[in-house]
Structure 1
Amino acid sequence: MQDYGVTLFMFRTPYLVDIVRENVGRVLNLDSINAGNSWKDMDVLIFNSWHWWTHTGKSQPWDYVRDGTNLYKDMDRLTAFYKGLSTWANWVDSNVDPSKTKVFFQGISPTHYQ
């Protein structure tokens, strides 16, 4: 890729919002995107998230969900996704200059479950 002067970065954060270690365990924090600092000043950002939110049991990487000051053992996944995606959208609005950066979002491929 040197011939084109392109550098690719892959930053894996499938939930977009942060999962942090707290005294109670791993917490999916619906209001926090500290990882977003790594995305700033990119020319193109591509996000893909919904599939990961459906994982439950041992394939789920968090123990609790934090929504503001409330901590839940679990939460309706569509509600959690909506809140996390709202946090992500606010981050994009506050941190991305659309004249310099293109943002793409894909929730899930229509054939993913076949």
Structure 2
Amino acid sequence: MTVHRCLATLSSALGDAVRHHRLPYNPARPTVIPRPAAAERQIWTVQDAIRSALITGLSNGLIESTNTKTRLIIRRGFGFHSADAVIALVMLTLAGPRPTLPGRQPATA
């Protein structure tokens, strides 16, 4: 017996109990979640986007740059045996200060 069939049987039995006034409501009845009101549509132009970026000082350039670098590193790492090696390579490349490797001098910037 499938789960769907079990739920249908349970819902039918509970529906009968509601009709015969043994239950005040059917707890197995699916709830209907009302849709939220649609947001007002806005038409953005390039000038609006530039103005907004200049006023707020926000940009998704850093996120896009990180995404592109990550894709390139992953493409380069397709020959690796495990995903852990690729993840480590991405973290070493993009995670900021690099650890000093044994037997090497720290890089000066």
Is the TM-score greater than 0.5? no
Could you say which structure has the higher helix fraction?
Answer: 2
Higher relative contact order (CA 8 A, sep 6+): 1
Greater Rg by CA = 2
- What is the TM-score with the length of structure 2 in the denominator? 0.23
